[in-house]
Amino acid sequence: MKRSDIFKELSTCQGHYNNHNLVSNDIEINFSHSKIPEEAFKKFDHLTKSLQIIDIFNSFFSDNNHNFTEDRSVNHHQLRSQTATPYTHEMNRLIDFINSDSLSHITDVVQIGIGGSHLGPQTLYDCLEAQLINENQYPHLKGHFISNIDPIEFKYYTSKLNPKTTLFLIASKSGSTLEVNSNFKLLKQWWNTHNLPDAQLKDHCIALTSKHSTLDDSALFFKRFYIDESIGGRFSTTSVIGMCIIGLCFGSNIISEILAGALAMDINAKLPNISENLALVSSWEHIWQRNIKNYSLRAMLAYSYALRSFPAFIQQLTCESNGKSVDKNNERLSYKTAPMIIAGIGTNAQHSFFQLIHQGTDTIPIEFIGIKQSNLAAKTDLEKNAHNLLLANLNAQIKALDEGEYSANNHFLFKGNKPSLSITLKSLTPHSLGQLIAYYENKTMFEGLIWNINSFDQIGVQLAKKLIKEIT
């Protein structure tokens, strides 16, 4: 079935809007304000079966060739499969290291990585640190992230650190990432400015890389933990790339909780019934807004300071995975794929770009993420009230987008009828974070399957990298 024919069929759907709430594990999704007719949801179910989406999705859980342009398997689900895979072996090796006594002198951990080696791990770290600080506790080790090639960022973070008590994680699957290698050189220079011998730097460095990469060098790193080519960077959060700094800073038991949460949503994503499969039905909502309503932008707002890094993580996951214009048959697409994601945090975004959302010339669907239980801010009545105000702001924005407000004066007119989707976590825990990450990974994959594209390469980021060699 041609995708263009699918979108044409869906565009005829009319009638009452769907008002479903779907719940699985700790995640609840409300479609009541997505402005999608009930008839369309019935067709989503039919089209899922016609395209054999679930059958194809299930094939990702064993070795495959879904990243066919790079002749690679897509294996990130195996990271949390709890079976005797090389990934399980590597994670156990990492956990044994975290639980050893070899780091008693370390106070700080710095991860040097970019893209998938930064955004996912940073998101997890921010959330887990917020939990502890709310309880007047602190991570076992303080985590920091250096990603930008701009040396100012490197200086900003390292100026606060004692090299003798700092551990550095150099994260690059290929070992050739320009930003990582540039910052690694700055690290060596910084180390020397403290009059420390070069030989000692090795004892403060861990490589997170693939076997036989340029970083897989025992002369440079006292430990190396491995990831392979079958794990895409933006899908690597539950690999050693994300779990190393999280385990070091928060304890190895947190790794198990995150992986268990991710596994729970992987199981949910296999369900064939669209009324039970959160990632699947959300992917169709995304398709509706992009291909039926032709909205070119989509905003993601996290109404939680702990989740402040999450929208940027999903921006990368969505745009790098599904920013494609060629289908699996190497044919140019006649329809649109991923929209640009506008990332923000509530309530800050309300004082930034929400004027455009409410009264601008473009309709921009919004994806709201909130936390129901105030486990991050519930120590006093004032803190409880502040959290309730945060949720009230989220709900008020949904209501304003939906209903608008009439005025005879056009300057004060809110047209309303603008679509939104709300995703609510019962509470923010390592287990629910694992669920949220896997939910979005699977949602992104379903969108790619519906669009019939390869969601697992990122050839579009390579050209400028090649040109750098000509310019410098």
pLDDT digits (tens, 9 = 90+) for 430-460: 999 999 999 999 999 999 999 999 999 999 9
Q: CA 204, 209, 211, 217: dihedral to nearest 10 degrees?
A: -30
Mean pLDDT, rounded, for 369-375 = 83
Query: What are the Cα distances from residue 170, in Å, to 47, 221, 251?
Result: 44, 9, 20
The answer, yes or no, to whether residue 209 has pLDDT greater than 70, is: yes
| Bridge pairing between strands 108-112 and 142-146 | parallel
Contact partners, residue 140, CB within 8 Å, separation at least 6: 248, 249, 250, 251
The answer, yes or no, to whether residue 40 has pLDDT greater than 60, is: yes
The answer, yes or no, to whether residue 366 has pLDDT greater than 70, is: yes
From the list 211, 213, 141, 212, the residue with the least C-alpha distance to 184 is 213
The answer, yes or no, to whether residue 470 has pLDDT greater than 80, is: no
The sign of the torsion formed by the CA atoms of 74, 76, 78, 79 equals: positive
β-strand partners of 326:
332
Query: What are the Cα distances from residue 200, in Å, to 206, 226, 436?
Result: 13, 23, 40
Instruction: Check residue 326 and give its pLDDT.
Output: 97
| Bridge pairing between strands 27-30 and 366-371 | unpaired
Better pLDDT: 377 or 125: 125
Instruction: Check residue 374 and give its pLDDT.
Output: 66
What residue spans of 214-290 are helical by DSSP H? 240-250, 252-269, 278-287
Residue 139 backbone phi and psi in degrees, to 5? -60, 155
- Cα gap 211→216, rounded to integer Å: 6
The answer, yes or no, to whether residue 113 has pLDDT greater than 90, is: yes
Query: 256-269 pLDDT, tens per residue?
Result: 999 999 999 999 99
The answer, yes or no, to whether residue 125 has pLDDT greater than 70, is: yes
Q: How confident is the model at residue 1 (pLDDT cuts 50, 70, 90)?
A: confident
The answer, yes or no, to whether residue 468 has pLDDT greater than 90, is: no
Q: How confident is the model at residue 375 (pLDDT cuts 50, 70, 90)?
A: low
Query: 286-326 pLDDT, tens per residue?
Result: 999 999 999 999 999 999 999 999 999 999 999 999 999 99
| DSSP structure class, residue 461 | G
Give the lowest-confidence range in 174-183, 186-195, 328-337, 376-385.
376-385
The answer, yes or no, to whether residue 249 has pLDDT greater than 70, is: yes
The answer, yes or no, to whether residue 281 has pLDDT greater than 90, is: yes
Residues of the chain above pLDDT 70, percent = 99
The answer, yes or no, to whether residue 64 has pLDDT greater than 60, is: yes
Long-range contacts of 56-64 (CB under 8 A, 24+ apart): 56/449, 57/269, 57/270, 57/442, 57/445, 57/446, 57/449, 58/270, 60/445, 61/266, 63/230
Contact partners, residue 332, CB within 8 Å, separation at least 6: 325, 326
The answer, yes or no, to whether residue 101 has pLDDT greater than 90, is: no
Instruction: Check residue 376 and give its pLDDT.
Output: 54
- Cα gap 435→397, rounded to integer Å: 25
Could you tell me if 251 and 234 are in contact, meaning their C-beta atoms sit under 8 angstroms apart?
A: no
From the list 111, 249, 98, 227, the residue with the least C-alpha distance to 168 is 111
The two three-digit tokens of residue 250, written as one number? 């928060």
- Cα gap 346→60, rounded to integer Å: 35
Query: 134-159 pLDDT, tens per residue?
Result: 778 889 999 999 999 999 999 999 99
Average pLDDT, the chain: 95
| DSSP structure class, residue 220 | T
In 56-197, DSSP assigns E strands to 108-112, 142-146, 166-171
- Cα gap 57→449, rounded to integer Å: 8
What residue spans of 404-452 are helical by DSSP H? 430-451
Mean pLDDT, rounded, for 115-129 = 97
The answer, yes or no, to whether residue 466 has pLDDT greater than 90, is: no
Q: Please give the full DSSP string across 363-383, using - where no structure is assigned.
A: ---EEEEEESS-TTS-SSHHH
- Cα gap 294→158, rounded to integer Å: 46
- Cα gap 86→96, rounded to integer Å: 15
Active site amino acids: 320, 351, 465
Q: How confident is the model at residue 85 (pLDDT cuts 50, 70, 90)?
A: confident
Instruction: Check residue 216 and give its pLDDT.
Output: 97
Query: What are the Cα distances from residue 373, in Å, to 17, 146, 278, 307?
Result: 29, 32, 21, 14
pTM: 0.96
Instruction: Check residue 465 and give its pLDDT.
Output: 77
The answer, yes or no, to whether residue 377 has pLDDT greater than 60, is: no
Q: How confident is the model at residue 381 (pLDDT cuts 50, 70, 90)?
A: confident
Mean pLDDT, rounded, for 85-91 = 94
Could you tell me if 96 and 89 are in contact, meaning their C-beta atoms sit under 8 angstroms apart?
A: no
Instruction: Check residue 461 and give its pLDDT.
Output: 86
Could you tell me if 366 and 299 are in contact, meaning their C-beta atoms sit under 8 angstroms apart?
A: yes
